[in-house]
Amino acid sequence: MAEKPSVLFVCVHNAGRSQMAAGWLTHLAAGRIVVRSAGSAPADQVNPVAIEAMREVGIDITSEQPKVLTVDAVEASDAVITMGCGDACPVFPGKRYEDWKLDDPAGQGIEMVRQVRDEIRTRVEKLIAELIS
């Protein structure tokens, strides 16, 4: 049995986009993919509006904490998905990198965060299809 593919989601604060993406991937992949998330400058807590938006679709990310992006996390991951952290993400040869252009939900209302949440779901579904053939 081959090792499960692993994905690392990275945004600046690891409080909104990357947490929602990790929540979606954990939920939709149902154990078939190892999921990590981190931030180049982590916030103190996950964005409460992101938590609320995910709760609306039955996904609980209340127990998550923003984590610092480490070289080890990047090295341990097959795919690294960045969300607006620019050059803060270390690059290793042989990894799959994607940059998802997503609006930052920090300080935004629930309507806008729902749009980001739904766009992330679409991208995560595509990612799962590509990783699990």
Domain ranges of the chain: 6-131
6 exposure class (CB count in 10 Å sphere: 0-12, 13-18, 19+): middle
pLDDT bracket for residue 15 (50, 70, 90): very high
Report which residue type is found at 79: A
Is residue 69 pLDDT above 80, yes or no? yes
Greater confidence (33 vs 93) lies with 33
Active-site positions? 11, 85, 89
Superfamily of the domain at 6-131? Response regulator (3.40.50.2300)
2 close to 89: Cβ distance less than 8 angstroms: no
Mean pLDDT of 70-75: 91
Mean pLDDT of 32-42: 95
Mean pLDDT of 107-125: 97
43 close to 15: Cβ distance less than 8 angstroms: yes
Is residue 85 pLDDT above 70, yes or no? no
